[in-house]
Structure 1
Amino acid sequence: MDISLVAGLLALGAAVGFAAGMLGIGGGMLLVPFMTMILTAKQFPHEHIVHMAIATSLATIMFTSISSVRAHHARGAVLWNVVKLLAPGILIGSWIGPWIGAQLNSSALALSFAVFVAFSATQMLLDKKPAAARNLPAAPGMFAAGGGIGVLAGLVGAGGGFVSVPFMTWCNVKIHNAVATSAALGFPIALAGTLSNVYFGMREANLPSGSLGFIYLPALLVIALASVMTAPLGARTAHKLPVKTLKKVFAVMLYSLAGYMLYKSFN
């Protein structure tokens, strides 16, 4: 990789790590659009660009999740009982998501990303108050919810926070706990999704050197190095922000990225 590419990926990794810690989103919502821009500028094979951006994003989340969840756990914010109930479904769904993505072309995949992210941003921005009696579902419902979160996260290369945070707040989980718990859920999502992207990507031809399946290893190394250093800072920032501010930051960022991926789906 040339110096300009390394510098760009380091800056991206730092921003992704901070966002992962602050918003519990794993960083994929930031990483996928910017990775798509970088790979496009470097003239990677057009038919693989979005797939590689998504796969590399998921692999990176394995590192950002561990870093950010340690900071949240130190504050006692992670609801580990919720993690245990959602994780089995998430593992299965996160394997299926990349398989679905492998059947889609880059334009369809980019459009899917934009739609899912815009929906999540709208839910967060509207800030509708859940019914006072609404709680998280029982174990079967949590397994199903985890499966849905995993499929969507694996499909669009995110840590699942764009679904799991709105889901938990809808069930009366406090936003700071939802963000922290979502950070913990990022690891099983990323692990299953990464293995799935390696498996399905190994069948593809015309992938650039340095690829492991759909994962671009040089970018993974640089981004992970930077992101694990800034994720704890993002986590500390999250606990200093008021709830409404945190939700607005989350929503505005997601709208911006959805707009870019919508543009990419038509170009």
Structure 2
Amino acid sequence: MGIELIALLVILGVIVGLLAGLLGIGGGLLVVPALLWLLPKAGIATDIVMHLALATSLASIIATSASSALNHLKLGNVDLFVVKWLLPGVLLGGFLGSGVAEWIPSHYLPKVFGVIVLLLAIQMVISIQARSNHPMPKAWVTTLSGTVIGIISTLAGIGGGSLTVPFLNRHGIEMRKA
């Protein structure tokens, strides 16, 4: 790995961090496409680039999410009751999603990523326009929702906040806690 590639990766990290912090978007939405462009320049075979980009994005999310979650926990912004029911599903969904990603042929993964990003954009536009306040669903529905969120997030290489926040907000959890 040359110094130029290392510099590009550091710059990518800074840009993703700034945009994620300013706009509240997941870094994976930026990291995956950038890695799809950068990794072949590092000599990574094209048939594994998408899998490597998704996995690398998800691995970097572990550190950033843990740091952010701890800070929000200290500030009292975490609804632990909701976490108790959502987290098992998200973990299961992440595990299942990685299996699905292995099963999907490499040349289809960028298309899957693109469809998920497009649907996320549509969801964001709809959620801006429609404000509803439904009660939180039953525990098993919340866990099942977490599983779906985990699968989709894993297939897109994102942390899941772009799906979890609207889900929680729709069900009456204030934005700061969502």
TM-score by length of 2: 0.89
- Superposition map of 1:96-107 within 5 A: 96-107=96-107
Correspondences of 1:1-267 after superposition (within 5 Å):
1-22=1-22, 26-126=26-126, 127-132=128-133, 134-178=134-178
Distance between the aligned counterparts of 2:65 and 2:22, measured in 1?
A: 11
Structure 1: state its 5+ residue gaps. 179-267
Kindly tell me: are residues 26 and 125 of structure 1, through their superposed partners in 2, closer, same or farther at Cα, counting changes over 3 Å?
closer
Equivalent-residue separation in structure 1 for 2:132 and 2:64 (angstroms): 33
Deviates further, 41-50 or 69-78: 69-78
Distance 1:44 1:29, change over 3 A: same
- The Cα offsets for residues 201-224 of structure 1, whole Å up to 9 and x where unpaired, read as xxxxxxxxxxxxxxxxxxxxxxxx
Moved over 6 A (4+): none
Q: Secondary structure at the match of 1:78?
A: coil
- Mapped to 2, the partners of 1:94 and 1:143 lie a distance apart of 13
Q: Distance in 2 between matches of 1:130 and 1:100?
A: 33
Number of equivalenced pairs:
177
**Inter-partner Cα distance in structure 2 for 1:75 and 1:16:** 24
Is the CA contact 2:101–2:109 (under 8 Å) kept in the aligned structure 1?
yes
Distance 1:76 1:136, change over 3 A: same
For the Cα contact (< 8 Å) 1:20–1:68, is it kept in 2? no
How far apart are 1:19 and its partner, in Å? 4.2
Q: CA RMSD in A?
A: 1.9
TM-score norm. by structure 1 comes to 0.61
Whether the aligned pair in 2 keeps the contact of 1:153 and 1:159 (CA below 8 Å) is yes
Asked if structure 2 preserves the Cα contact closer than 8 Å seen for 1:26 and 1:159, the reply is: yes
Higher RCO structure, 1 or 2 (CA under 8 Å, sep 6+): 1
Gaps of 5+ in 2: none
Name the residue aligned to 1:230.
Answer: none
User: Is this contact kept in 1: 2:58–2:157, CA < 8 A?
Assistant: yes
Q: Note the C-alpha offset of 1:40.
A: 2.6
Q: Take 2:22 and 2:85, find their aligned partners in 1: how far apart are those partners? A: 23
